[in-house]
Structure 1
């Protein structure tokens, strides 16, 4: 395949996994798998796979730097505990709105606060669209249910903040995809798994054995390892804007699929939130701007050739 086709292939894999994360996390909550259960077992499995590889490659020196540890505490343990907990209180559509939809906004704000990186006009437009969408959604939800903003929504938004800070630090520290992924998985396991085994209650018998095993394999291998690597490969071949824009659609598609698959409601309020946050996250007007710029360059080249 050409590099472009390879890029779309990697995007497809990443979309399937990211969309699957939303559906399986909500399904795990319905099965009674707690946030600390899936977090502990997910990183324990990833550790058992990655640590022997690092030892075999003699590539463990990077683990003793502060950067992988900090990233693991933010994008590993803390993010997983808040995100998985949120699925116990809110449906998959709310995850697409308050978690995935808010990540680009939280990333831009984190970059400004931590490293004084300016917020461009596209982000300000996104902020206006997202705030308007959440405001309209909250108003409609209050009219329908009497509750405008729930605990699960707050946890999803908090998770987006953790992931935004994680993304900014990862970009600033310039760790490779392999080192970032391995460092987060291994340090998360080293810190959290012993605490989980010693102090947290276990709910291993609540779901069926195959349900628990399936969740651990999917989240420990596909989400932690495979999706990280395929996303980076897609960016290499398609560029960050195109790859990121397409992949961002995955959780929104998952929210729609959750209606027939998980029997979750899809009200007018949720539709407004999905549409508004989707537009704000994807920023479709950039595509129009890029097409105009490309057309201008082509016309300029024609004039120069004459």
Structure 2
């Protein structure tokens, strides 16, 4: 299988899990599981699984470098707290618009601000489309309810900023998928779980036991471990922007599924926002008639070797 096809396979796996993340995170909010509950429990479970493996493999030296710790604080603890909190104030469709729809843009701007990578014309076109769609959506929402945006929307956007920074740093530092995932999970557990146990209120008895167990298993194993591994591998093969753009489709699909599954509303305003943010994030015009960058590099290497 070519590196490009491998990248798309990893993206497909990540999409399935991220789509499930949107639906299950909204369910956890409906069931009374707080943001700090699910954040602490997911990383605690991942910690219990990963640390024994690292010790057995004698592969713990990388944990003492600054990169895994920084990634854990940005893409682990901080991202999870803001994203899970947002689901208590806004439905799944808003997550697709203000979180996942904004991730490619936040990634591009983070690359510019941190590493001075220039923004190309495609990014500016995306900015125009997204701002226009948000403007139309906010106007329609204001006409419908008298409120354009809420606290949940702001928290989703802040989460997109954290994830954009995380993605850029991950690409720049070139950590292996295993080290990136393990470092994020283990350092997040070491830092946040003790704080949670000492200072945060617990809501373990609010949901049904199987609801809590199911959430912890899905978010602790599938989201933390499997999706992180596949996402990092997809970035390596397709690049940060392309991988992030394709994966963005999953929450948009989940937002539509949330209508019958979670009985959430889907108004004209939300449809405008979903369409505009989806087009801006995926940038379909950029893909037409263009050869994949990775394939170009491989062909150039092949010609040089000949």
Partner SS, residue 290 of structure 1 = coil
Change (3 A) 1:4 1:105: closer
Change (3 A) 1:146 1:62: same
Partner SS, residue 117 of structure 2 = coil
Paired position in structure 1 for 2:81: 81
**After the TM superposition, which residues 114-263 of structure 1 pair with which residues of structure 2 at under 5 Å, given as runs?**
114-234=114-234, 243-263=243-263
CA distance in 1, matches of 2:7, 2:175: 21
CA apart distance, 1:217: 0.3
Q: Paired residues, what number?
A: 293
Paired position in structure 2 for 1:47: 47
CA apart distance, 1:243: 4.6
Residues 224-233 or 268-277, more deviating = 224-233
CA apart distance, 1:236: 5.8
CA distance in 2, matches of 1:234, 1:164: 15
Change (3 A) 1:180 1:6: closer
Which structure would you say has the larger Rg? 1
CA apart distance, 1:248: 1.9
CA distance in 2, matches of 1:147, 1:32: 25
CA distance in 2, matches of 1:237, 1:79: 24
**Structure 1: runs of 5 or more not aligned:** 294-306
Change (3 A) 1:234 1:160: closer
CA distance in 2, matches of 1:192, 1:19: 25
CA distance in 2, matches of 1:155, 1:106: 14
CA apart distance, 1:232: 3.8
Question: Is residue 104–residue 244 contact of structure 2 (8 Å, CA) maintained in 1?
Answer: no
CA distance in 2, matches of 1:150, 1:12: 31
CA deviation map 1:117-169 (0-9, x unaligned): 11111101100011111111101000001000100000000000111111111
Change (3 A) 1:169 1:241: closer
Paired position in structure 1 for 2:66: 66
Residues 86-95 or 10-19, more deviating = 10-19
Paired position in structure 2 for 1:110: 110
**After the TM superposition, which residues 7-18 of structure 1 pair with which residues of structure 2 at under 5 Å, given as runs?**
7-18=7-18
CA distance in 1, matches of 2:51, 2:103: 30
Partner SS, residue 32 of structure 2 = coil
CA apart distance, 1:239: 6.4
Question: Is residue 171–residue 240 contact of structure 2 (8 Å, CA) maintained in 1?
Answer: no
**Structure 2: runs of 5 or more not aligned:** 294-306
Residues 2-11 or 224-233, more deviating = 2-11
Partner SS, residue 107 of structure 2 = helix
Root mean square deviation, CA, Å: 2.0
CA apart distance, 1:246: 3.0
CA distance in 1, matches of 2:233, 2:67: 22
CA apart distance, 1:209: 0.2
Residues 80-89 or 66-75, more deviating = 66-75
Partner SS, residue 148 of structure 2 = coil
CA apart distance, 1:289: 3.9
CA deviation map 1:69-91 (0-9, x unaligned): 11111100000000000000000
CA distance in 1, matches of 2:113, 2:60: 32
TM-score (norm 1): 0.91
CA deviation map 1:195-253 (0-9, x unaligned): 00111000000000000000000000000111122234445666666654432210000
